[in-house]
Chains A and B, each alone.
Chain A
Amino acid sequence: MQVRDTGLGFGVVTMILHWTGAVLIIGYLALDIISAVTGDAGLALIHISLGMLVFPLFAFRLFWRLRHYHPLPLGAVSPIEVLIGRGVALGLLLAGVLLPLIEWIMVSSAGGVVGFFGLIALPSLLGQDATTARFAGFLHWFGTYALGLGIGLHIFAALKHHFVLRDDTLKRMLGKHVEL
């Protein structure tokens, strides 16, 4: 199995990190929503800690994505749909980098400490400042909605390929070799 992505197929690095990242970011988003609804501070801390895993993983995935060619789309899909699909996927990678970073700024500027599952405390990115905290809070709120929408669109497209268009787009990301 190839390591790098090429125009003919995904490499093993992308496939493993795609599914690891999917679990992490859906968990990250779900914990954010549940902790906001229930007001559970413990869940919020796990959410923030999870963000510290999401950040480096998605930063690497973004780097890896931009360094390699993307496999050709399967089936007779419209170029515009490909453009939108790839735009959403890239947006998700960007969100995985920016949202934890914004959250780190938000917590730091509000005087809090970002920790990693209670094991270590990460240094503050900025000094305490209420205006920065409010602005970062707004960006985080907006970004969370955008991330939720992006994940929804991405899953919808994957299911459409699998069940409606009946091509191997989803299976290809699960490791199936597809002859182009």
Chain B
Amino acid sequence: MSSSSKFPHEANAKARPTKSRLADLCGIALPIFQAGMAGIAGPELVAAVSDAGGLGHLGGLRQPPSALRAAIREVKRRTDRPFGVNLVPAFGGPEVFEAQLQVVFEEKPRVLSLFYGDFPKAIPRARDAGILVMVQVGSVRETRKVVEQGADVIIAQGVEAGGHVRGTVGLLPLLSSVVDFARGRPVLAAGGIVDETDVRAVRALGAEGVWVGTAFVATPESLAHDIFKNRIIEASTDDPQYRTGYSFGWTYGTPHRIIPGDGRFNLLRFVGGGARVNDKPAIAQKLSLYAGQGVGRITEISLAAKIVARLAKGFED
């Protein structure tokens, strides 16, 4: 990886041949993947990231199938670049997951990313439908399983990540191990990644791309409430906390990382969530908001394309 022309980081970079097999696999210019954050990653953000040369992911969690289909079509209206859909079966039950899968198979986004579940049937079915399958894992055990099940790409999620976290291992030791057990499949690094220095670090450990969530929350294109965005740019590295209590819609005890809400008598601070633009300000203020440990280095609300461009610098060498 030597020239910037191979990894263009201009905001309007077109998909062109790269030295990244992962980017080539996805038909994109830069192996930069925006995490499919439920309620936050809507069509505007997804299209902005994909237009910038990365790959945006719609957050499918909590989306009724018809709304998911409408969101996918809205992305297609906004961009002709590849994009992905993120699904999580932990919410809504198997029937909702199956109905969402049917929508994905019919609408055929370039990538389906899966998280927090067991996917022995979903992975081969998606691949048969011509969709590239990424699975986010938090342990070596899970890596072995999803490799057996046929996942095309593995996302190694360190415990530094914001929102729901799958494992308890930090990205540094996890990433190297996942690369070892991925049997040559491309591995993305997730958890606390916000800029080019992080990209260089994870590349040194064998990551071929990055999966970024929190940094894309603080963009004008995200559906996050302004209070949520400001909370992220004001937070320090020490602020996000690992919790195993309640987070909206998830089984009690599912681990997640949040910036705690304010107020001693504020009961909503015991609830993890992502405040959206149409939520009431009081709720956004009180809720404990999903965020990863990279928040300390997110200091402004930036266009998604600018974040992609900054991360892209980490692939220039």
Chain A: residues with CB nearer than 8 A to chain B?
A: 6-8, 68-69, 72, 76, 78-80, 82-83, 179-180
Contact = CB atoms under 8 A, between A and B. Distances in A.
B92 A7 contact: yes
B301 interface: no
Contacts of A6: 93-96
A167 to B, nearest CB: 12
Contacts of A68: 93
23 contacts: A6-B93, A6-B96, A7-B92, A7-B93, A7-B95, A8-B96, A69-B95, A72-B62, A72-B64, A72-B92, A72-B96, A78-B278, A78-B279, A78-B280, A79-B249, A79-B279, A80-B268, A80-B271, A80-B287, A82-B248, A83-B248, A83-B271, A180-B65
Nearest to B278: A76
A69 B93 contact: yes
Interface in B52-98: 62, 64-66, 92-96
B283 A80 contact: yes
Contact of A79 (B66, B99, B248): B248
B227 to A, nearest CB: 14
A176 B268 CA distance: 34
Closest 10 CB pairs of A and B: A69-B93, A7-B96, A7-B92, A180-B64, A6-B95, A7-B93, A79-B248, A8-B95, A72-B64, A80-B283
B59 to A, nearest CB: 13
Interface in B266-307: 268, 271, 273, 278-280, 283, 287
Contacts of A78: 278-280, 283
A180 B278 contact: no
Contacts of A69: 92-93, 95-96
A165 B66 CA distance: 19
Interface of B: 39, 62, 64-66, 92-96, 99, 248-249, 268, 271, 273, 278-280, 283, 287
Contacts of A79: 39, 248-249, 273, 279
A134 B280 CA distance: 44
A85 to B, nearest CB: 13
Please classify the interface of chain A as helix (H, G, I), strand (E, B), loop, or mixed, using the class held by over half of its residues: loop
Nearest to A4: B95
A152 B33 CA distance: 47
Contacts of B278: 76, 78
Nearest to A69: B93
Contacts of A83: 248, 271
**B65, B92, B99, B279, most chain A CB atoms within 10 A:** B92
A180 B98 CA distance: 13
A68 B268 CA distance: 26
Nearest to B38: A79
B283 A8 contact: no
**A69, A76, A82, A180, most chain B CB atoms within 10 A:** A180
B272 to A, nearest CB: 11
A179 B96 contact: no
**A6, A8, A80, most chain B CB atoms within 10 A:** A80
Contacts of B66: 179-180
Nearest to A86: B249
Contacts of B283: 78, 80
A77 to B, nearest CB: 10
Contacts of B279: 78-80
A144 B115 CA distance: 44
Contacts of A8: 65, 95-96, 99
A72 B249 CA distance: 10
A33 B94 CA distance: 44
Contacts of B94: 6
Contacts of B64: 72, 180
A79 B283 CA distance: 10
Contacts of B273: 79
A180 B96 CA distance: 9
Contacts of A80: 248, 268, 271, 279, 283, 287
Nearest to A179: B66
Contacts of B39: 79
